[in-house]
Amino acid sequence: MKLELCHFSQQKIYPSKSRKYVRVDGKSFNFANGKCSKSFFMRRNPRKTSWTVLYRRKHKKGIVEEVSRKRTSKKAVKFQRGFGGATLEAILMKRNQNPEVRKKQREQAIKAAKESANTKKKTQQQKATKVVQKSNQKQTKKSQAAKGGGLSRGGQKR
Instruction: Give the span between the Cα atoms of 92 and 74, in whole angstroms.
Output: 28
Q: Is 90 within 8 Å of 82 (Cβ atoms)?
A: yes
Answer for the pair 83, 92: CB distance below 8 angstroms, yes or no.
no
Q: CATH topology for 4-59? A: Ribosomal Protein L24e; Chain: T; (2.30.170)
**Per-residue pLDDT reduced to its tens digit, 10-24:** 999 999 999 999 999
DSSP-assigned states of every residue in 40-92: HHTT--TTTSTTSHHHHHHTT-S-HHHHHH--PPPPPPP-----TT--HHHHH
Per-residue pLDDT reduced to its tens digit, 97-145: 888 888 898 999 999 999 999 999 999 998 888 888 888 887 777 777 7
- Residue 150 reports pLDDT greater than 60: no
Buried b (16+ CB within 10 A) or exposed e, 91-101: eeeeeeeeeee
Q: Which residues contact 31 (CB under 8 A, 6 or more apart)?
A: 6, 7, 8, 18, 19, 20, 21, 37, 40
**Distance between CA atoms of 108 and 6, rounded to whole angstroms?**
83
Domain ranges of the chain: 4-59, 88-130
